[in-house]
Structure 1
Amino acid sequence: MPEAPATPGPNEDVVSLLLTQHARIEELFLLVTGSTGETRAEAFNDLVRLLAVHETAEEEVVHPLSRTLPGDNDALIDERLAEERQAKETLKVLIEGGVDADGFDEGVLLLRTSVLAHARHEERYEFPRLRQHVPADRLRQLATAVRAAEAAAPTRPHPGAESATANAVVGIPLTVIDRIRDAIRSAAD
């Protein structure tokens, strides 16, 4: 089971929170690719869950705000959403096959490359614009909003739900289903 996210501190802003999560995602990829057996399976489950809740929160909170910033941001955000959809589709295939399936190693390495490139795009293009155009107190409030979105997010990838609207419409039933599956899997362990 992944470690419980810490409550954001009074000075943590949404960009700092997301950067910390990007670093944790990188760590989990290293653990998945560098381990075997139960350790690998647990690391992969933690990675899947973190990616699912992280991307859902970005889709519900961060990307819609980025669209409203000065300048033409639609293409930038559309590219990030396309990357997120591709990652969800790849994750879904990897989950269905399992960590011991033929092709898992190659698939997870390809996923790692694309997810880390996605994170670097956000870090280089989207996050600096947030810090430039959004007041610091609002960025701190958004960290709390992201945590709330993550707490209510599905814990598995669901390609096709890459917008705040789609997450609102399908998110609650998917969250319930995912969290029931998580509880069953946890009880079976």
Structure 2
Amino acid sequence: MSDVNLPPLPPVEGALSGRNVVDVLDEQHREILGLLNHDMSGKAYDVLIATLARHLSAEEQYLYPAVRTAVPDGERIADRELAEDRELLKLMQDRSRLDELTAAVRRHVEADRGELFPLLMQMVPADDMIRLGNRVETAQEAAPTRPHLSTPVTPPWNKVVDPLVGVIDKLRDVATGRTTYTHNL
């Protein structure tokens, strides 16, 4: 990670560098689960929502398309995960449903760790896992910081719309002084 908090870009030639997609997403899961242990009456709630929104956007852009193409029964699995992500986004819009959101986040993490990640590790070559990891890190930084139920959830449109919505969200965050990263808590 650079001094200005930019994610690494995929290499153009030579040996691949970076972390594989499972390592990247699992680190995000740990961060999200850690946020659930904070007092949600302060800035931690905003950070949770922003972190979760970025995470879901990156998964929708790269993880689920990879699952569709590389995993047996991947279409069904990806569709199920997208439906669960939509439920998470709905819960994220209502602070009074924090207990439901917490339970849904824990289910999301367990589904990824218990089913998706092992399948990907078996079915996708190591080089492609690193390429996916690099893209997920890049997508996460450009992603929205708020839940948006009306944006597309599948490529190619989510790869176009999410960064545009992300810019608007980030401008709103700066204008309102909203905290969106764990290191700013």
TM-score bracket relative to the smaller structure: 0.7 to 0.9
Deviation of the 1:166 alpha carbon: 4.1
Moved more, 173-182 or 14-23: 173-182
TM-score by length of 1: 0.80
How many residues are treated as equivalent by the alignment? 169
1:30 aligns with 2:31: no
Aligned-pair identity in percent equals: 32
1:175 aligns with 2:176: no
Output the CA distance in 2 between the equivalents of 1:90 and 1:30.
18
Deviation of the 1:129 alpha carbon: 1.1
Q: CA RMSD in A?
A: 2.5
TM-score by length of 2: 0.82
Whether the 8 Å CA contact 1:85–1:160 is kept in 2: the answer is no
Whether the 8 Å CA contact 2:7–2:138 is kept in 1: the answer is no
Task: Give the letter aligned to residue 35 of structure 2.
Answer: L
Output the CA distance in 1 between the equivalents of 2:19 and 2:80.
27
Deviation of the 1:138 alpha carbon: 1.6
1:18 aligns with 2:25: yes
Equivalent residue runs for 1:63-74 within 5 Å: 63-74=64-75
Change over 3 Å in CA distance of 1:92–1:166 after alignment to 2: farther
Whether the 8 Å CA contact 1:13–1:141 is kept in 2: the answer is yes
Output the CA distance in 2 between the equivalents of 1:59 and 1:150.
10
The secondary structure found in structure 1 opposite 2:81 is helix
Larger helix percent: 1
1:98 maps to which residue?
A: none
After superposition, give the CA deviation of every residue in 1:42-72 in whole Å (9 maximum; x if it has no partner): 1111111110111000000110011001421
2:13 maps to which residue?
A: none
Unaligned runs of 5+ in 2: 10-15, 180-185
Output the CA distance in 2 between the equivalents of 1:181 and 1:15.
31
Task: Give the letter aligned to residue 121 of structure 1.
Answer: A
